[in-house]
Amino acid sequence: MLRRILLIDDDRLQFRLTHRMFDSFRGERFELEWSDNFEDGLARLLKGNYTACLLDYQLGPRDGLELISAAVAQGCHTPIVFLTAETSANVDTAAMNAGALDYLVKGEITPRSLERSLRYALKLGDTLGQLRQLATTDQLTGLLNRREFDRLLAEEVERALRFEHPFVLVLLDLDHFKDINDQHGHPAGDAVLRTVAARITGAVRTIDRVARIGGEEFAVLLMETSLEEAAAAAQRLVEVVRGEPISVGDGVRLPVTISVGGAVAPTHAKESAALIQAADNALYAAKRAGRNRVALAS
């Protein structure tokens, strides 16, 4: 299946020229799609799953620099190659600062230079994607890490306040996890953490977010969820974790339980630190009550 490239350019002739250049590529073949205006181009770039984008500087009353900034602000990571008829170094620098990965002057483009630029942008895009993955992911479990969790939590608190859409922060802690490490070794503890992470992820919706925020501590953001719905969702997490003993190798299977605390934004708190504290207080209430259970902020 051909990988798709999006050209955003208000000049039909440029689309035809670019298409002919694609036909002359010596290496990989791509499917070229075209958008001729800012609004449609931005919408397609954000949702089209394109391999890369060729973006013209001049797009009627708006320009490509503005489009790059808007796309990046909305989380777009598609590699962008900037096209312009201008040779000014200021345009070159502005495009790269905005988020473009390469820059080509239209009058100087050849099939070879365009193919080389696309290969460079795709390679650099892959590298940056790997770096983003490392920066946001817990290596042991594959879940979001604490830094990315904090960022998402702040965003969701702001969204809950602005649009009055509640969400629930659930904090989970493995019961007596130190005993597992002490009695069976850290590889066994790692196996338990990976399995618990998988079970939690499988028990929530795709719109929810799961993170490992400490040694044996996890957090879940349950989107668009009320306090009543949170109680059922949190209880489901307790049950799915304790459902089957976890294999840690050499025929050893360990029963594992979790304690869970939850708090609702903006009902229980209107900023991130206070919401974490409310959920944490509920978590410790669950532990004091005997562990292997759920407690919600009051």
* pLDDT tens column, 177-236: 999 999 999 999 999 999 999 999 999 999 999 999 999 999 999 999 988 888 999 999
In-domain check, residue 82? yes
Low-confidence ranges of the chain (pLDDT < 70): 87-89
Note the Cα 263 to chain centre separation in Å.
23
Residues 154, 100, single domain; the answer is no
In-domain check, residue 69? yes
pLDDT score of 165:
87
pLDDT score of 126:
87
Residues 97, 44, single domain; the answer is yes
Q: CB 99: neighbour CB atoms within 10 A?
A: 18
Residues 285, 158, single domain; the answer is yes
Q: What tokens were used for 197? A: 């992470």
Q: State the amino acid at position 180 in one-letter form.
A: I
In-domain check, residue 155? yes
Residues 292, 256, single domain; the answer is yes
**Domain end position, chosen among 90, 112, 135:** 135
pLDDT score of 87:
66
Residues 58, 119, single domain; the answer is yes
Task: Assign residue 249 the CATH number of its domain.
Answer: 3.30.70.270
Alpha carbons 258 and 269: distance in angstroms, whole number: 24
Alpha carbons 84 and 97: distance in angstroms, whole number: 15
In-domain check, residue 266? yes
Alpha carbons 257 and 279: distance in angstroms, whole number: 18
pLDDT score of 88:
63
Residues 211, 288, single domain; the answer is yes
Number of domains in the chain: 2
**245: domain range?**
146-296
What three-state secondary structure class fits 101? Answer: coil
**Domain end position, chosen among 76, 107, 135:** 135
In-domain check, residue 173? yes
pLDDT score of 164:
86
Task: Assign residue 109 the CATH number of its domain.
Answer: 3.40.50.2300
Calculate helix-pair angle for 146-163, 272-288, nearest 10 degrees.
Answer: 110
Name the residues annotated as catalytic.
216
pLDDT score of 72:
87
